[in-house]
Amino acid sequence: MSKTNNNLLIYQKYMNLIYYTNDIVRKYPKAEKFTLVEEIKRSLYSGLRMLMYAIKSYSIPDKLKYLKELDICLSLLKVHVRLSYRYKYITDKNYSAWSALLTDICNMLGGWINSCQKR
């Protein structure tokens, strides 16, 4: 698969993560709307911004910088998902689905970072 197709695939998966996340956080208690939900959305959309920068970047060092920042955003999201589960804002099924989406994206991202480092 070409680099363009891989970039498109990770972008599509990331968009699916955004749709899923937005559906889930609507069900959070009002008390969390301006705390945990805000943090989740901040990490989510910062990650999208880094993904877009990485896709559009031509320089390998710049691309790596954005990909590593995206990795940090995804790590933060994982923590937020674990907190949501621990506080029982999401079900076992939601936790599994959300984690699976994040894991897929993280695996693709890891491959992309490795391919950039080999050049």
What is Dmax (Cα atoms) for the chain? 48
Rounded to 10 deg, the angle between the 36-56 and 60-86 helix axes is: 160
Nearest to 116 by CA among 79, 62, 75: 62
- The CATH number fitting domain 3-118, selected from 1.10.3720.10, 3.40.50.300, 2.60.40.10, 1.20.1440.60: 1.20.1440.60
Q: Which amino acid is at 2?
A: S
Confidence (pLDDT) at 3: 59
Nearest to 65 by CA among 73, 76, 54: 54
Instruction: Summarize pLDDT for 64-76 with one digit per residue, the tens.
Output: 999 999 999 999 9
Q: Are 20 and 97 in contact (CB under 8 A)?
A: yes
Instruction: Summarize pLDDT for 9-52 with one digit per residue, the tens.
Output: 999 999 999 999 999 999 999 999 889 999 999 999 999 999 99
Average pLDDT (86-109) is 97
Q: Are 73 and 50 in contact (CB under 8 A)?
A: yes
Q: Are 98 and 85 in contact (CB under 8 A)?
A: no
